[in-house]
Every structure is written in C-alpha cells, then in structure tokens.
Amino acid sequence: FASASGATDAFLGCLAAAGVPPRLVQTPASPSYDALLLSPVRNLRYVAPGTPRPVAIVAAAEPAHAQAAVRCGRRHGVRLRVRSGGHDYEGLSYASLDGRERFAVLDLAAFREVRVDAARGEAWAGSGATLGEVYYAVGAASRALAFPAGICPTVGVGGHLSGGGFGTLMRRYGLAADNVLDAVLVDADGRLLNRTTMGEDLFWAIRGGGGESFGAVLSWKLRLVPVPETVTVFTVRRSRSQSASDLITKWQEIAPALPRDLILRVVVQSNDAQFEAMFLGRCTRLLDHMRAHFPDLGVTQADCEEISWVRSTVYFAFYSSSKPLELLLDRTGETGRYVKAKSDYVQEPIPWHVWESTWSWLEKPEAGLLILDPYGGRMGSISPSETPFPHRKGNLYNLQYYSYWFENGTAAMEKRMSWVRGMYNEMEPYVSKNPRTGYVNYRDLDLGTNELEGNVTSYAKAKVWGEKYFKGNFERLAAVKAMVDPDDFFRNEQSIPPLPSAK
C-alpha cells in the first residue's frame, strides 16, 4: 500500500496529468485552502479542531475536472465528498467522521450557471447555483414562471434536488426533485452521463435518494411552473396567551386540506406561533379561503401583501418584501452558526394537551424552534414510489426541530443538542411509526451511520436509517447503487449501500 502522503501525491499528480489546473486544486499547504474549505460551511460543529479535513479541495470548473477527480480518486484511494452549497446539516459534504478516511472535496461552486428558456418553461441550473440564483434568474426571465424549491436562498441546487426539496410551492407543484427533466452526472467510472445515457433507474435514484451515493450531478434541467403575476403573502403571529395552542391544534387538520394554491406553514418559537402563508392569487380570494377554512386565525386585508412570486422568495427568506431582489444573489447568508436538527412526519393531529405542554420546552433558554410544513395538495397525489422521496399521501405535515447557536464549546453544544433530542423524544408517541420517518435533506446522524462489511457499506446496517428516510424505496435505491457503483466509491456516513447480490 502507498503511504498516506504517497497516495495523496499520486492523486495530485494524476489530476495534473489529466489537465486539472493546479490553481483549482488546494491542499492544506495552499494559502487559500482554509477560506475555500470554510466559506460555504453552514455548521461549525463539523469544522471544529480535530475534525478530519480533506487532503485536497478540487474546485472543478468544467466537467472534465470532475471526471478526473473521480478517476484519480479511484485509482489512488482518495474518496470524494461532493459539495454544492455546503448546507448539509451533518457536514457530510466537507467532513468525514472516519479519521482513517482519505478524502478530497469535489467542490461544484463554479457550476452555477442558470439558463432560463422562458418560452419552453424550462431552465438548466448548475449544481453549484444557489436556490436564490435560480429564483432570481427565473424571476428576471418571466413574472409568470417559478421553480418550486426550498425557502433558504443560499441552499445549493446540488444537495437540495438530490434529497427532494420543498418550499412554498410544494402543495401546488410538489418537490423540486419532482420537477427535474434531465441531469448531467459524473458516475463512479468518471463517465459523463445524461438522462438517456444513465437510464431511468439511475435518473430515478438521483431525484430524492440523497446526495453523494450515485455520482456527482453537475447540472439539472428544470421544469418551470406557471404562477400568477401577483401572489399574496402574510405572516401573523399569535402568542400562547392568544390561543396559539388551539390554533396549532386546528391548523394540523386545516392546512393539509386547504386548496393547493395556498400554503400555510407555522414556525413555533419561544411563546409564539407564527403563521406564514403564500397564495397563488390575490388577497380578496385568499381572505375568502381563510374565512371559509380557518376563521379563528383572524387574518384581515391589512395582513396581506400582493407581490410577484420572485419577491415572495425574498419575503420568506428575509421577512420583508421590500429588500432588494439582489439579496437572492448573496451566497454568503448566515454563517458562523452551530446547528442541530431532526425531523418527523405527522400523520394524525397531535392533541392539544401536547402542544400546551410544548411551551415549557420552547421557553427554556436553550430552546430551538419547531417548523411545521403542511403537505397535502399535489404532495398527496404523487405515488410514494414515483421518486425515492416516499412521504406523500397520509402525511399531514413535516415537523422539524431546529436549533442553532453561536457559542463555541461543548457545554453550549450539549445543552442545545439535548434540547433537540429531548423535544424529539417527547413527540415520539404522536408521529409516524414503524418506521418513525424523517426527511433526508434534514440529515440526522442520530438515526444511524454506515458500517463497512468487507470493503463496502453494509446493507443490513444501513437499513436502520435508510428505511426512515426512504421506506420501501430504500431497497430499490440499494439495487441501483449495486448496478452503478458496486465498489461503493461514492460513500459517506449515510450513503446508499450496494444491495448484496444474494438479496
């Protein structure tokens, strides 16, 4: 076996021989290594001293560079962590929990072109583009088109579409991954494939099966969706003393059954429930719906703002529609935070008394927040096997437990993490069961991490976390993995294992 530094040198030499310019390859000795490694990082827990770091960062600028990274990595025993926006909750795009693993980051930030064809209602977006850049480009091309994806504008297209991707248009149009028409991917053999050449099984797997497992997706062809030129948004806040528990209890049955042009999500924090809505139409119609379905919330004309869809993306990201649209292009966003999150799917309304007792959790000094995203509408009419994302009909809403903090040190971390875990444990009797499911894009290593069996990831062990994210689709994902990457080159702590051939 080559020594660690010998293998790294051979990897670097191989990249140079393949024509990857040295300025695109940073090693810990390079002056800009730290800046490049850290700038997109959204969770400082995974860059703490002692966390294993990549032997190199390959900032690919063209497909051939990504192909070389895969081929050279395989040849010289250097694994790749593919990174687009760097938002993974568990840092899997830039950190490895296995101190023995020699890995490089394949950074796709340069693949950020967004080309919109408004006449065809389609766009190509590079994996390294942010959602904000996609929204900005679509909004600039047409006021009547949109793309259904998540709320935070700095999230990367690559990871987001790989795991599903939901936001304010999901009740009308489903997930971001439901609206992918084609993709360009570098597979485990370093080949550049599109939908036709990769085949439908692999194309199915990359639209929701979670990042990393099947190759590096360089770009995605998106189906843009029609929206009215004017949409309406509102945010109303109701405190615990203004019957927030009653309202949340009712919301659970109302929100998933609302007309699909309307989404009403809730963020619960401290002693408030904040109801945030977007309606694909004008305020008068929205108020008719609110009066018919949820009069107790007491929404009035004064709460409404009528704006364009692209402006609504600014509204949800920054809680103001008057901020400049160019903020969508700011790739920096909120850094400098430590994060822990977990998620559940709720299938039966959680009783009032549980919400009432939740306030004692939310009022603790170390408390995080709860985010309730209602499903129903289009989400309920897509078959659970259409894409790897299985959480469709029968799920009322996604419940996310989210905490972030700024203080360094284990004491702060333990307090915050145990709040998230404690809140999650409290909710166990009231959420989905057998398995207790979660959303892969809200990555949670508490659900289980991979172990090797020989030189590949154990399928039996991975099933423990895998069926929580993917239910019955997990086995099909593993079958695709066995077909396209039987040696398990693309792997991380929660990558899809190859299905053993005896299965």
Q: Least distance from C-beta 132 to ligand FDA, angstroms?
A: 11
Q: Which is nearer to ligand FDA, 108 or 134 (CB)?
A: 108
Rounded CA separation 67/20 (Å): 10
When asked if residue 155 is in the footprint of ligand FDA (CB under 6 A), the reply is yes
Residues 6+ apart with CB under 8 A from 145: 116, 118, 121, 138, 224, 225, 226, 227
User: Does residue number 168 form part of the binding site for ligand FDA (CB under 6 A)?
Assistant: no
If one asks whether residue 83 binds ligand FDA (CB under 6 A), the answer comes out as yes
**Any contact of residue 82 with ligand FDA (CB under 6 A)?**
yes
Residue located via tokens 């959790």? 361
- Should residue 493 be labelled a site residue for ligand FDA when binding is judged by CB under 6 A? no
In the region spanning residues 447 to 476, those forming contacts with ligand FDA, defined by CB under 6 A, are none
Site string for ligand FDA, 120-139 (x = CB under 6 A): -------x------------
Which range binds ligand FDA by CB under 6 A, 28-36, 82-90, 233-241, 470-478?
82-90
The alpha carbon dihedral of 342, 465, 491, 96 has a sign of positive
Binding flags for ligand FDA, 408-447, as an x/- string (CB under 6 A): ---------------------------------x------
The pattern of x and - marking residues 102 through 121 that bind ligand FDA according to CB under 6 A reads: ------x-------------
Q: How far is the CB of 370 from ligand FDA (least distance, A)?
A: 14
Task: Give me 57's structure tokens.
Answer: 């960062």
Cα torsion for 21, 23, 27, 28, to the nearest 10°?
Answer: 180
Contact letters for ligand FDA, residues 11-50 (x by CB under 6 A):
-------------------------------x--------
For ligand FDA, which residue of 211, 256, 388, 466 counts as binding (CB under 6 A)?
211
Buried b (16+ CB within 10 A) or exposed e, 166-185: bbbbbbbbbbbbbbbebbbb
Residue 112 neighbours by CB distance under 10 Å: 20
- The SS3 call for residue 395 is coil
SS3 labels along 453-465: ECCEECHHHHHHH
Read off φ and ψ for residue 139, nearest 5 degrees. Answer: -65, -35
Identity of the residue, 287 or 440, whose beta carbon is nearer to ligand FDA in the bound complex? 440
Query: Is the omega angle on the peptide bond into residue 497 within 30 degrees of 0, that is, cis?
Result: no
**Does the footprint of ligand FDA cover residue 167 (CB under 6 A)?**
yes
Looking at the Cβ atoms of 245 and 373, the one nearer to ligand FDA is 373
Distance between CA atoms of 407 and 435, rounded to whole angstroms? 35
Coil vs helix vs strand at 55 = coil
User: Could you say whether residue 217 binds ligand FDA (CB under 6 A)?
Assistant: yes
Site for ligand FDA in 298-317 (CB under 6 A): none
Residues at the contact surface with ligand FDA, assessed by CB under 6 A = 42, 81-89, 92-93, 108, 127, 150-152, 155-156, 158-160, 162-167, 211-212, 216-217, 441, 492
